[in-house]
Amino acid sequence: MKRFFKSLLAKYILIILIAIFLIQAAYFAFIFVFFNLVDDSNTPEAGQGTQDTYDEIEEKWHQEAGQVVSADDAADLFAEWQETYPTASMFRVDGDGVLDVQRNVQENLPDRWDITYTVQFLKNHYEHDPFTVVAFTGENENDGFVVFQLPREVMQTNAQQLFNQYSWAAIILTIVVVFLFIFLSLWFFKRIRKRLVHLQEAMEIRDTDGLPILIEEKKQDEIGDLEKSFNRMVRELRGSRAREQEEEQLRKELIANLSHDLRTPLTKINAQAYTLQKMDLPEEAKRSLRLTSASIEDVDKLIENLLSYTLLMASKYKKELKEVDMPRFLRQYLAAWYPVFEKEEFEVDVNIEGFEENTWEIDALWFSRILDNLLQNVLRHAADGQYFAVRTETTEQYDAIVIADKGRGMQTGTKQKGEGIGLSIVDMMVKGMDLDWEIDSTEQGTVIRIMKVKRTGV
């Protein structure tokens, strides 16, 4: 129950109850003030008259009108009733249709009345305001008649008169309360929205480690529970990331140690194989030793690639960027590889021209390692094509070094002798020097571009 009172539902129910209470309180205040405290001494019939009903007034008027014989009797009757009903209008029409006595008459009346006008007068005033009573005088209907007219508002109680006079206040009060309820509701939902937007922004913000950041837990309601759940998720993610990093570090150290430990015995084995090749052995044995040495070199390269990959992943592979004349660097580098491709009977096509900007900011050792891996892949998967080309390429968007062959393509055969990890090393080193690259390998050959994207000024 305690938790319910802290919930958003309870708060909104409270707002509704407050609005209902305010409406009731406003009406009670209206009734109390205007029916009990308002001074009604200036009302037309304050402290005067009777509270007779319309039927009682009509009956009494008929009784007293029957005693009127002359104009003086009518004047006395009008004076008596004027004391009780100061706002009433009264007049007498004698038997000849002449208007002879009148008191407080508000409308223009003709001096002579005929039957037509009399009927029209009765029709116009029946059940209308003012309240009108017509009574014959004397004992004979030919003696004339007297008319009594009283504004209907005079017959209203003080409460009715006050309500008619001040009903606008009740309407305004109701409107004020309704707008107050709307304002409180909007304020309530605006605060909810603000907290939800803050939570959404916190979910999108990332710390330096790429994980969301903790947020402040403000209230113990539904959104507060959501904030707690979010913070709990962030803590679990951070704990999981920490464990993952520890395991990754252990794995990298293990790979580095194993790589170092494996290369030592491989070097010894290779040395022994080289010694045996110098001995006078059968040709079949020498061929086996040459194959063994080649396998040992392949394993050594795989271990070297594995160690390099591990160091790159751990950001421990030393990098030193310097400005290098790229066309000159390429010519010197390819000169060392030319005999290798010549020995394998490759057709070599080298076309290195200058760029608009020949200087590239690179690490020469890293770039040499990139080219080593790519050219070794050419030897491995393009031997059947017997073709190898290196050229430079310039477009409006980039300057590029293009390496092409006419092999069956890397995607058509199996990834052999560490080709996959070698390309992963190429990818990390290229991007580590703020360069870009792309590879297009089909059954007709493979084309690789290492690109320096041109920076366009604003």
pLDDT digit string (tens) for the chain, length 458 residues: 555 655 666 777 777 777 777 767 766 766 666 556 555 444 444 334 445 688 888 899 988 888 888 888 889 998 999 888 888 999 999 888 898 888 888 888 898 988 888 888 888 888 888 889 999 888 777 788 999 998 887 776 666 666 666 677 767 877 887 888 788 787 878 887 887 888 788 778 777 777 778 877 777 777 777 888 888 888 888 888 888 888 777 776 776 666 666 666 767 777 777 777 778 778 788 778 777 877 777 677 777 776 667 767 666 667 788 899 999 999 998 888 888 888 888 888 999 998 888 899 988 888 888 888 888 888 877 888 889 899 999 988 899 999 999 888 775 444 444 457 778 888 888 888 889 999 888 888 899 999 998 876 54
The CATH number linked to 439 is 3.30.565.10
- For residue 146, what pLDDT is reported? 92
Same domain, 250 and 345: no
Mind spelling out the 3-state secondary structure of 60-102? HHHHHHCCCCCHHHHHHHHHHHHHHCCCCEEEEEECCCEEEEE
Q: Which long-range contacts (CB under 8 A, 24 or more apart) does 148-152 make?
A: 148/57, 148/61, 148/81, 148/88, 148/89, 148/90, 149/88, 149/89, 149/90, 149/125, 150/57, 150/85, 150/87, 150/88, 150/89, 151/44, 151/87
In a domain, 349, yes or no: yes
Same domain, 337 and 431: yes
CA dihedral 191, 196, 198, 201 (to 10 degrees): -160
Query: For tokens 């001995």, what's the residue?
Result: 279
Closest of 449, 314, 289, 304 to residue 374, by C-alpha: 449
In a 13 Å sphere around the CA of 456, the CA atoms on its Cβ side amount to 5
Q: With contact defined as beta carbons under 8 Å apart, do 387 and 405 qualify?
A: yes
Same domain, 354 and 407: yes
Same domain, 68 and 34: no
In a domain, 57, yes or no: no
Same domain, 326 and 449: yes
In a domain, 31, yes or no: yes
Closest of 45, 51, 53, 62 to residue 133, by C-alpha: 62
Look up residue 34 and give its two tokens: 């205007």
In a domain, 204, yes or no: no
Same domain, 295 and 162: no
Look up residue 45 and give its two tokens: 């019939």
Q: Give me the domain span that covers residue 123.
A: 64-153
What is the domain count for the chain?
Answer: 4
Helix (H, G, I), strand (E, B) or coil at 386: coil
In a domain, 17, yes or no: yes
In a domain, 398, yes or no: yes
- For residue 444, what pLDDT is reported? 83
**pTM above 0.85?**
no
Same domain, 144 and 165: no
Q: Which of 170, 199, 228 is the last residue in one of the domains?
A: 199
- For residue 42, what pLDDT is reported? 43
Q: Which of 119, 153, 187 is the last residue in one of the domains?
A: 153
Q: With contact defined as beta carbons under 8 Å apart, do 154 and 86 qualify?
A: no
Q: Report the distance separating Cα 392 and Cα 373, nearest Å.
A: 19
Angle at 129 between CA 54 and CA 140, to 5 degrees: 60
Element (H, E) at 381: helix 364-381
In a domain, 211, yes or no: no
Helix (H, G, I), strand (E, B) or coil at 447: strand
Instruction: Please state whether beta strands 347-351 and 387-394 pair in parallel, antiparallel, or not at all (unpaired).
Output: parallel
Same domain, 306 and 390: no
- For residue 261, what pLDDT is reported? 67
Peptide bond into 130 cis (omega under 30): yes
Look up residue 207 and give its two tokens: 């710390």
Q: Report the distance separating Cα 182 and Cα 137, nearest Å.
A: 65
Strand runs (DSSP E) across 218-368, as ranges? 322-325, 347-351, 359-362
Residues paired with residue 135 on neighbouring β-strands, in sequence order: 146
Same domain, 331 and 448: yes
Look up residue 24 and give its two tokens: 């009731």
In a domain, 335, yes or no: yes
Same domain, 331 and 431: yes
Same domain, 345 and 443: yes
- Read off φ and ψ for residue 402, nearest 5 degrees: -110, 130
Q: With contact defined as beta carbons under 8 Å apart, do 32 and 187 qualify?
A: no
Instruction: Please state whether beta strands 398-405 and 359-362 pair in parallel, antiparallel, or not at all (unpaired).
Output: unpaired
Query: For tokens 């209008």, what's the residue?
Result: 89
Q: Which of 83, 118, 153 is the last residue in one of the domains?
A: 153
Same domain, 135 and 170: no
